[in-house]
Every structure is written in C-alpha cells, then in structure tokens.
Amino acid sequence: MRIGVTGAGGFVGSALVSVLAKGDLKDAGLGVELVAIDAQLPTSLPEAIERAEGDLADTGFLEQTFSRPFDVFYHLAAIPGGAAARDYDLGWRVNVEASVAVLKRLALQEKPARFVFASSIGVFGIPLPTGKVNDETLPLPTMSYGAQKLIVEALVADFWRRGLVDGLAVRLPGIIARPRVKGGHLSAYMSDILHTLRAGEPFVCPVSADATSWFMSRARCVENLIHAGSLPAERLGTRRAFNLPALTLSMRALVDGAAGHFGPQVQSLVTYEPNEALQAQFGSYPALLTPIADGLGFTHDGDAKMLVARALDLSDQTSQRGAA
C-alpha cells in the first residue's frame, strides 16, 4: 500500500507522517510505503519515508511524485486563514489550484485512491447560528480561506460521484497546541495560552473568558485522519464532507483544564482583553453536533483536562508535579 501526505512538514502533517511511519497501523491496512510531500520537509522525518520536496503547481514535480499510484492520499497542504486573507493569490494557488492539480493526477489512476481532504470549520463563516451547528448547517464562508476550502469540498464530492477518487472531506476544528511561532493562524491564541500557562507566564487573551470555540488536540486529529483513511468505502454514504467531533469550550474552561495539570495558580495569570473581530470569528461558537462522524467512529478528546494533556503531550508525572 502506498500512502501520500501533502503538507507533511506542517504541524498536523508531520505528526500524521510520524504515526504512520511507526507501522502500528498494519491491522488497518496502512503503513506499507509512505511518501511525505511538501515544499520543505524537516530533517527529523524517519529515514524509511520517501521524501518529495517541491511545488505542487510544478508539472514536473507532479509527474515524478505521481509516477506510481497511491492507495491512500491525505491532502493537508494549505495556506491558513490569516495568510490567505493577506495574500489572496497565494491562498488561491495553494488552497485551490494545487488541490485541483492533485485531484486530477489521482483521477488518472486505474484504481481510485482514498482521498482524505483536510477541510475546515472555516467554511461556515460568521455569524454562526445561535443554537447549534450540525451536518445540515449551510456553509457560508466569510473568509477567503473558508471559501477556498468549500470549493475543494465540492470538487472532492464531484470526483467521487464520477468514480475518480474515493474521496471525503473532514472539517477540522481548532487544532492545538501549535508552536508559538507566527504561522498565519488568526486563532493562534488558542494554542499560545497553553504554552504560556505551562511556562508559568502571564497571558493576555484576545477574546473573553466566556468566548466559546471548538477544540481538538493534534494527537486526536491524527487519529481521526487515519480513521478517515481506513474506513471501508461501503460505510460511507453520499455525504462526502462533514464536521468532526470537537469539544465546545469557553476560554475559561480551557484554562480550568490547564489548571488541572499546572495548578490553580495559573488561572490568575490570564487577563482578558477581547478583540471584537477575533471574538466574532473564533469565539462565538454554539454547540457542535456531528451525527455523521459519530456514526462512523470519529471521536473528540473527552474533556478539557484530557484535551490539554494530549495537546501538550503531558505525561502523568508532569501533570501531577505541576498540580502539586
């Protein structure tokens, strides 16, 4: 079995590649031959992984990378929301044109590949419904990033309808805890707050304590992506784009989850200075219902304390020492 991962040098992609490379997934039929694809890949990737560094818009690079068929293909490469808004042409080229190029290459295979597209809750835009969001909520993006993701969702469904790929698009919520670097994510504060509290430093939160968002740890995200790649085709219905389960938490609840590991004193380290635009875009989420994903066996992190533990890769010893 041959597996491809675009965006393999990114926050989620690098973790997905590392887990797949461990070979723990043979029972699911995965993990035989792995191709990591990105413009630049970290040197820390396992040696057994095939490295494919280049531009997905380059015809020669595409021909070389897709010279042999893939059985499973994860498409994670993307320009995130803030960066896609600042540089529209770059966002369009990477988020749409590169995705189209990948789909067209996969469509040439004799046997359709399982294509897993990492979409985003950004397809919904603002304002969100006040009561709940579920699989029937109409996507109405209000950012270029969300619009670009929705375009590719439609293409994935159409390529599946035509029998060209066995595709599905899973909408990822806020994935934490990203490193404290500027990466174009307007929602970076969701991760930064955990790193800061772990270090015992004060944090100014740009949304209110009652601001609610949808959260998932990177570890859980990787598990869900792998599950998406291994689901039998007969279990999937005609809806090829759906929301993944996530925890709906206020920032106060997230801080409480961190306090469960690092001690109650961290709660006093947080002050709240809400930014109206950020609050509207990322801090006003209603309850999230995910019946399609639930029925297929996708899961969230359980509770806030477990979310923090998985997001920061905390051992029990570290947690207990911090809370002592």
- pLDDT, tens digit, 9 for 90 and up, residues 184-195: 567 889 999 999
Mean pLDDT of 36-48: 90
Task: Quote the pLDDT of residue 113.
Answer: 98
Q: For the residues 145-159, what does the mean pLDDT come to?
A: 98
Amino acid 75: pLDDT = 98
27 pLDDT tier (thresholds 50, 70, 90): very low
Catalytic residues: 145
**Considering the chain, what is the average pLDDT of its residues?**
92
What value does the mean pLDDT take over residues 96-110? Answer: 97
Neighbours of 24 (CB within 10 A): 12
- List pLDDT tens digits, range 275-299: 999 999 899 999 999 999 999 999 9
What pLDDT does residue 184 have?
A: 57
Amino acid at 34: L
Which pLDDT band holds residue 208 (cuts at 50, 70, 90)? Answer: very high
